[in-house]
Structure 1
Amino acid sequence: MNRYFQTPPVVKNLIIINVLVYMATALLPVGNQIMEYCALSLGTPFFHTYQFITYMFLHANFEHIFFNMFALWMFGRTLEYELGSQRFLTFYMVCGIGAALIQYLTALAFGELPLLLVGASGAVMGLLLAFGVMHPNAVIMLLIPPIPMKAKWFVIIYAVIELFLGWRGVGNVAHFAHVGGMLWGFLLLHWWKRRGTIRF
């Protein structure tokens, strides 16, 4: 079967875990407790180090998880086949943890603590960055507006917009986490390239 119609194991399992956790928080009586203990609660008594990992598997609402999982599926499949499952999972986790660290440092610098962080967006932005670096001339069809754009330009424009929105403090979105995921993804890709473990 053509790879386009297949979903490799890490992407598939990440999506399954995220969906199951979302259903648990939305439907089970202990949903609020799951959020309380597993969301990244920076600057609060509920903070635990493990939350730098668990926060990536929680989502605020259906739109939040749908768009994150759609992007994970769209870009993650190609990247997992190219990087290999183990390296892909390492990349995903590093971007997600790194995104939270960047958001924490910027919140600390701007006096925006306490801060509650949930979602796979930081890790997914790392995947978007990797796709743009490894396939710069691949064409991405935007949804709104519906126009085609080369991946490299889409990544650059998206990163600039996120930086601007984060600097202005626009919306209830962790913009610096998005930028952080891209930054860590860029650094990790180039470290692997210098070691000769990947080529692009």
Structure 2
Amino acid sequence: MSVTLILVIITVLTSLYAWQKQDILRKWIFNPYSVNKYKQYYRFVTSGFIHNDFIHLLFNMLVLWMFGEQVEYVFTALYGTTGTVLFVALYILGIIVSDIPTYLKHKDHAYYNALGASGGVSSVLFSFILFDPAQKLYLYGILGLPGIVWAALYVLYSAYMGKREGDNINHDAHLYGGLFGIAFTILIYPKVIMHFIEQLKGLSLF
């Protein structure tokens, strides 16, 4: 069983559990005010393993499963067992780092909450795009565009939704998680930059 699948299973189970136990949901959700005032730093991690609703959970876990296993395979092929550790670090740190700007923005706002694995999922997605930006990704099996184009649309959508807020989903985490995924991947494998450029030479929009 891949580490990606294990992360998916854990996240599904913890989300289902939190939906049944509202006290757990309130304790695990990312509340910057509680982190700041009561030093509840664990929320940076636990909030990434609970979701707003079934659609939110399904979307994040499908993206993680689809692209996570491929990134995990590449990391393992490059670094063996260490690659597995690096993949988990990419995902978990993606969740944490992507919440830092939100923490700084809302640390004095007692009623602001956010949850979801979006930061970690975005880190994995953008890492995948560095390795294969030209690969066609299909929306509902119909509209096929290169991964790098979907990434650009994803960033624009996240920036727009981040300004709206109001749904407990940290859309800003999509953007910051993606940026972290790029930085992390380049840090551990600098050669990916030239690989990315070479892949772009064969880019076709349709």
Q: TM-score, normalised by structure 1?
A: 0.82
Q: Distance in 2 between matches of 1:33 and 1:101?
A: 24
RMSD of equivalent CA atoms = 2.4
Q: Distance in 2 between matches of 1:51 and 1:65?
A: 18
CA contact (8 A) 1:37 1:46 kept: no
CA contact (8 A) 1:39 1:58 kept: yes
2:104 corresponds to 1:105 = yes
Partner in structure 1 of residue 112 of structure 2 = 115
2:139 corresponds to 1:142 = yes
**What number of residue pairs does the alignment pair up?**
185
2:155 corresponds to 1:159 = yes
Q: Closer, same or farther in 2 for the Cα pair 1:106/1:178, shift >3 Å?
A: farther
Q: Which residue identity lines up with residue 169 of structure 1 in the other structure?
A: R
Q: Distance in 2 between matches of 1:50 and 1:106?
A: 18
Percent identical among aligned pairs is 26
1:189 to 174, 185, 192: 185
Q: Any idea what SS the aligned residue of 2:133 has? A: coil
Structure 2 regions of 5+ residues with no counterpart? 77-83, 196-206
CA deviation after TM superposition for structure 1 residue 20, in Å: 1.3
CA deviation after TM superposition for structure 1 residue 63, in Å: 1.0
Partner in structure 2 of residue 57 of structure 1 = 49
1:169 to 160, 164, 169: 164
Structure 1 regions of 5+ residues with no counterpart? 1-7
Q: Which residue identity lines up with residue 172 of structure 2 in the other structure?
A: F
CA contact (8 A) 1:95 1:126 kept: yes
Q: Any idea what SS the aligned residue of 2:101 has? A: helix
Partner in structure 2 of residue 4 of structure 1 = none
Q: Any idea what SS the aligned residue of 1:136 has? A: coil
Q: Any idea what SS the aligned residue of 1:43 has? A: helix
Partner in structure 2 of residue 38 of structure 1 = 28
Query: What aligned pairs does 1:63-78 form with structure 2 within 5 A after superposition?
Result: 63-78=55-70
Q: TM-score, normalised by structure 2?
A: 0.80
Q: Distance in 2 between matches of 1:55 and 1:24?
A: 13
CA deviation after TM superposition for structure 1 residue 169, in Å: 2.3
| Per-residue CA distance 1:77-109 (angstroms, 9 max, x = gap) | 10111112211101001111111112223445x
Q: Closer, same or farther in 2 for the Cα pair 1:112/1:47, shift >3 Å?
A: same
